[in-house]
């Protein structure tokens, strides 16, 4: 089974802080994704990456950046956290021809 791990389950940050969310997968998957999930809005794709150093914007990239320096690691960066970025953040990875496997999620609260 693929294991996707996220650095924290719960995180509390202050407005204006720079926030790093880390994700690691152990199955040599090409694709990695960051989603956020909010009540009533479902899962929305922030960014995805199909190879090392490659990234593509998803549906809601504003306020976020990503980094993929190694195949197994995909980081989501909030340059200056704001309260409207309080959410559940989900990382996922997949092979080219398969649906993504998700990590447990990080519940981020920005105060």
Partner 1 sequence: LAKTTQPISMDSYEGQEVNITCSHNNIATNDYITWYQQFPSQGPRFIIQGYKTKVTNEVASLFIPADRKSSTLSLPRVSLSDTAVYYCLVGPNSGYSTLTFGKGTMLLVSP
Instruction: Return residues touching partner 1 (CB under 8 A).
Output: 4, 30-31, 33, 35, 40, 42-45, 48, 50, 56, 58-59, 88, 90-92, 94, 96-105, 107
Whichever of 15 and 27 has its CB closer to partner 1, that residue is 27
The candidate with the shortest Cα–Cα distance to 29, out of 90, 67, 70, is 70
Task: Look at strands 106-110 and 87-94 and give their pairing.
Answer: antiparallel
In the bound complex, what is the minimum distance in angstroms from residue 77's beta carbon to partner 1? Answer: 20
Instruction: Tell me the C-alpha distance between 55 and 41, whole Å.
Output: 24
Question: Closer CB to partner 1, residue 73 or residue 107?
Answer: 107
Closest approach of partner 1 to the CB of residue 34, in Å: 12
Please report how close the Cβ of residue 48 comes to partner 1 at its closest, in angstroms: 6
b vs e for 42-81, b when ≥16 Cβ sit within 10 Å of the residue's Cβ? eeebbbbbeeeeebeebeeeeebebbbeeebebbbebeeb
Q: Which is nearer to partner 1, 78 or 91 (CB)?
A: 91
């Amino acid at each position: 089974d693929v294991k996707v791990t996220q650095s924290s389950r719960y995180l509390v940050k202050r407005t204006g802080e720079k926030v790093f969310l880390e994700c690691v997968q152990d199955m040599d998957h090409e694709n990695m994704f960051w989603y956020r999930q909010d009540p009533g809005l479902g899962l929305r794709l922030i960014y995805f990456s199909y190879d090392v150093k490659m990234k593509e914007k998803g549906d809601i990239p504003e306020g976020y950046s990503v980094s993929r320096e190694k195949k197994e690691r995909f980081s989501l960066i909030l340059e200056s956290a704001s309260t409207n970025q309080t959410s559940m953040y989900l990382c996922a990875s997949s092979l080219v021809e398969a649906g993504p496997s998700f990590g447990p999620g990080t519940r981020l609260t920005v105060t």
